[in-house]
Structure 1
Amino acid sequence: MTLPLPPGEFQAYLFDCDGTIADSMPLHYTAWQQALAEWNCDFPEDLFYAWGGRPVVDIVGTLNESQGLAMPAEEIARRREDCYRDLLPGLTAVPEVLHHIDQAHRRLPLAVVSGSTRESVTASLETLGLLHKFDVLVCADDYTLAKPDPEGFLLAARLLDVPAQSCLVFEDTELGIQAATAAGMASVRVPQPRQRPTSARKDRSGDAPAAL
């Protein structure tokens, strides 16, 4: 599978992290399942992917409302973060996105724009050996309005000192694509794990990933 780029002379690349650089969504889903288990909260996998890019507080609030629960959002967020960190040794990069990072490194400024915490983003990029390739990290605590609002992408463009219309965004969620469009930026849609060919979802040992 390849990720063809739209035409244009781009001056910077902006990347979402989870599901875009890091093939982390299956790990995040496992972490959610572990964090929600003690509350007997049901979070189907298809819903998890449909809600990609939503803040944790919003997700917990919606789950509480739909299932008559009273889960504390901050506690769930901390528990989910701890579970994800325990799973990090199994993290891999999305090969097609890694190709574009390697091709652009030292040629164009690169930024990460993520709705995850800086701690989580840094841990993922360090695990993958990619942290040094990014000039700017824009994470959840750096902006107020979550995707699909363009605030995070516009902040990254300002920090890189590149016009918004000269940035190319790599994203795996519909909310992220909407945010890029609202920022006046071209974008590349990264297929989610279940949308990729079976061979692309196999891990480096050649075996299919364990069922979630």
Structure 2
Amino acid sequence: MILPLPPGDFQAYLFDCDGTIADSMPLHYTAWCQALDEWGCEFPEDLFYAWGGRPVADIIDTLNERHGLAMPVDAVARRREELYQQLLPTLTAVPGVLRHIHDAHRRVPFAVVSGSTRESVTASLTALGLLDKFDVLVCAGDYARGKPDPEAFLLAARLLGVPPRSCLVFEDADLGIQAATAAGMASVRIPEPRRR
């Protein structure tokens, strides 16, 4: 898979993690289903992909509202993370994105901008042998408003010392593309696994 980049002289690359660097969305979906099944909660796959980029706590809160449940957010989040960690040995990178990481490493600074926890992002990048390639990690808890709000991308640009207009975002989710656009950044859309 060749990912064409938009024209421009970009001074930084900002990557979402799950579904963008790490081909982890199928693993995350499995972990979500197993964790939610313990509470009798369904999470359709199309909804899971539509909500890509949302923080875990927001997803659990919204599922509670939709299904009239009272799942404890912290407990479900911990269980989902535990189940995901068990699946990490099978994790692979998204080939087209991996190629851009290798080609541009040390030429431009990199940041990860994710709705996942720092623990989850660090575990994924470590499993892929890529953690040391990233100068900055912006994860859930580092910002107040999740994607599609541009806050997380703007924070990453500020931490890298690069103007937003000079950043290129790699994203797989609609909410992430919307956030990049709102931040004034160009973006590259990563197709979801079933469309690659």
Paired AA for residue 158 in structure 1: R
RMSD over aligned Cα, in angstroms?
0.8
CA distance in 2, matches of 1:28, 1:133: 23
8 Å Cα contact 2:13-2:168 kept in structure 1: yes
- Higher RCO (Cα < 8 Å, 6 or more apart): 2
Say which is worse superposed, 59-68 or 18-27, in terms of deviation: 59-68
Aligned to 2:184: 184
Correspondence 1:123 to 2:123: yes
Paired AA for residue 128 in structure 1: L
CA distance in 2, matches of 1:87, 1:34: 12
Report the identity percentage: 79
Correspondence 1:141 to 2:141: yes
CA distance in 2, matches of 1:152, 1:62: 21
Aligned to 1:75: 75
Aligned to 2:8: 8
Say which is worse superposed, 95-104 or 137-146, in terms of deviation: 137-146
Listed as ranges, the gaps of 5+ residues in structure 1 are: 197-212
CA distance in 2, matches of 1:124, 1:108: 22
Aligned to 2:158: 158
CA distance in 2, matches of 1:13, 1:65: 36
8 Å Cα contact 2:56-2:115 kept in structure 1: no
Aligned to 1:98: 98
Paired AA for residue 34 in structure 1: Q
CA distance in 2, matches of 1:44, 1:81: 19
Could you list the structure 1 runs, at least 4 aligned residues long, displaced by more than 4 angstroms after superposition.
none
Paired AA for residue 29 in structure 2: Y
CA distance in 1, matches of 2:59, 2:131: 28
Q: Deviations along 1:153-174, whole A, 9 cap, x unmatched?
A: 1111111111110000000000
Q: 1:62 offset after TM fit, Å? A: 2.0
- Specify the SS of the correspondent of 2:141: helix
Q: Deviations along 1:109-129, whole A, 9 cap, x unmatched?
A: 111111111111011000000
Aligned to 2:59: 59
TM-score by length of 2: 0.98
CA distance in 2, matches of 1:66, 1:182: 28
- Specify the SS of the correspondent of 1:168: strand
1:189-204 superposed matches below 5 A? 189-196=189-196
- Specify the SS of the correspondent of 1:142: coil
CA distance in 2, matches of 1:143, 1:111: 15
Say which is worse superposed, 179-188 or 56-65, in terms of deviation: 56-65
8 Å Cα contact 2:14-2:113 kept in structure 1: yes
8 Å Cα contact 2:111-2:136 kept in structure 1: yes
- Specify the SS of the correspondent of 1:141: coil
CA distance in 2, matches of 1:159, 1:67: 39
Q: 1:58 offset after TM fit, Å? A: 2.0
TM-score by length of 1: 0.90
